[in-house]
Structures are given as structure tokens and as C-alpha cells.
Chain A
Amino acid sequence: MSPVDLGKILVFSSSGILCGVDLGKVIKLIEEKNVTPIPRSDQRVKGVVFHEGKAVPVFRSGRLETAEKSEKLILMLDQSKGPVGLSVDQVVGIITEEDLIRDIEGKQFYKGTEITVIGPNDIVAI
């Protein structure tokens, strides 16, 4: 991870939910296409895509009931088990941890909107 990326967060939205991920774990942002669904898989698994010689799983990030209609981009993330894709609506921007405000319950907010910062290793299928 580049020193420049330390403390930077890539913010994205899915189904109206604001999320963030360590910018240092972002490999690439690609247009969502050629995602092959996997019958009988967990409903959070959108499918797989062919990326740099591998079959990379793509997970839904928004509310399951609306995700299919709105997700247009795939964030390729570096996970301990290999690259993983996260299907998102749009990328909002890049912020730093100083831009986040925490309340007494530990929730994080960006410009007044609650944001969930996830780790790539949190993206797993059951």
C-alpha cells in the first residue's frame, strides 16, 4: 500500500447506502458487464467475472431487493484470499479519516450521512 493511500477512504453508494473502503485495497474500478450468475449460490453473490486470468466473485453491496436494478460498477478489491469484486451504484469520492465524524455509539458519518466503512476481508459468502 502506497504511503499516499494511508488513511484514505474510497466512498461509494449502493441502494442509497453510503459505504467506504480503504483506498489502498482498491485494485481497479470497472464497468459491470459479463457477470455470470451462479445458480444455487448465496443471494449476496451476484456472480463471477473474468478478470486478469481468474474467475473473480462479485458480491452485491446494496439492499438485495434493489441491487439488481442499480448496480453499474464493480470495485475490484484486494482480499487476503485474492481479488474480489463489489458491485456498486456509483463512486462518490475519496476522503480521509479526518472527514468522518463518530457519534457516541460508534457510528460514523460523512457530511451528515451515516457511512459504513468495510474491510475487503469482510466480504465473504456464507
Chain B
Amino acid sequence: MQSIKDIAELPIDGREGLVLFFNVGEHQFGVRLTEVVRIDEITADGRCELLDSMIELDTIDLQKFFNATLRNKTGTRVLIVFGTDEEIFGMTADEVDQIIAAQETPELKWPPQLDGNLEKIYSGFFRRGEKLVPAINPLAIKEEALREAC
């Protein structure tokens, strides 16, 4: 498993062409690393240096948002901070799985037969071997989560 410190120290231009995979309960999701601003660990007793330094950060609990049932046994979590030109916001997940070059994990389109509303939350799927991993749209999740008051 990739060290969170390694990920956090990658320069912005070093994140091009990379995909971050992370786990939330029994689910795994992927996101392009260029959308990630910072990552930090949240200890079992809830301490996080990054969160302490970004007091006003809107943070979404992905375990709650995706109704995940499995819990991380260690009690630790990760904070993934996403950024656009206009805003930054955070999401908590269980752990980082791996960072993979985008060419090794091609992105597939969202199937037209599926719910159009979900198409906002997911941008498609990343292929990892014979398995598919949902690709998330962080901004859409943030908007939906705040609307549901996660």
C-alpha cells in the first residue's frame, strides 16, 4: 500500500497521468490524482494535522455517503482534500489502496442504461484487470452530500 506521505509530497505536475485508488468500507473508488490537493492520515482518536490547519474545510464522510457497512479495524482513516480553481473540500475514506499510471487503468464510460443522476457522482469506471472500479466526481459528491447534510 502506498505511503500517504509519499502521495502528499508529489508535486502537482508529478500527479499528471496518475490515478488514486482508495477504499471506503467494502467499496473501492478511483479518482485522477490531479484532482487531489492533499492527503493526510486521521488517527484512531480522530487527530489529523491537516484538518487542524484547515478549520473551515467542508468534509464529507464517504462511509456515510455510500452506506458502507465494513469498518476499518484499525480505526484510522484518511482525509483526501480535493481542489478546484474556486474551492477546496475534503472527504474521509478508510485507506489509500494504490496509485497507478492512468495508461495501466483505462477509464470506461458510464453505461447509458444506468441512472442519469448517478452519472453526476460517477464519471465512469477504471479498469483494474478484469474488475471495474467506480471513478468518482468529487465536486458532484460534495454538492450531493451537502444537500443531504452528510
Contacts and interface: CB of A to CB of B under 8 A. Distances in A.
Contacts of A56: 111
Interface in A39-70: 39-42, 45, 48-50, 53-57
A56 B68 CA distance: 23
A54 B132 CA distance: 10
A79 B113 CA distance: 9
Given A36-B125, A40-B118, A123 B113 contact: yes
Contact of B127 (A38, A41, A50, A123): A50
B110 to A, nearest CB: 7
B27 A39 contact: yes
Interface residues of B, number: 23
B113 A40 contact: no
A57 B131 contact: no
Given A55-B109, A55-B110, A36 B134 contact: yes
Contact of A55 (B66, B111, B115, B118): B111
B112 interface: yes
Nearest to A56: B111
Contacts of A41: 114-115, 118
B18 interface: no
Nearest to B68: A39
B111 A36 contact: no
Contacts of A42: 115
Contacts of A34: 130-132
B2 interface: no
Contacts of B124: 55
B112 A82 contact: yes
A38 B114 contact: yes
A57 B113 contact: yes
A111 B64 CA distance: 48
Given A38-B114, A40-B118, A57-B113, 12 more contacts: A34-B131, A34-B132, A42-B115, A45-B114, A45-B115, A55-B108, A56-B111, A57-B114, A81-B112, A81-B113, A82-B112, A125-B115
8 pairs of A and B residues whose beta carbons are closest in the complex = A39-B66, A55-B108, A81-B112, A36-B132, A55-B125, A57-B111, A34-B130, A125-B115
Interface of A: 34, 36-42, 45, 48-50, 53-57, 79, 81-82, 84, 123-126
12 contacts: A36-B125, A36-B131, A36-B132, A38-B118, A38-B122, A40-B66, A41-B114, A48-B125, A50-B132, A54-B108, A55-B125, A123-B113
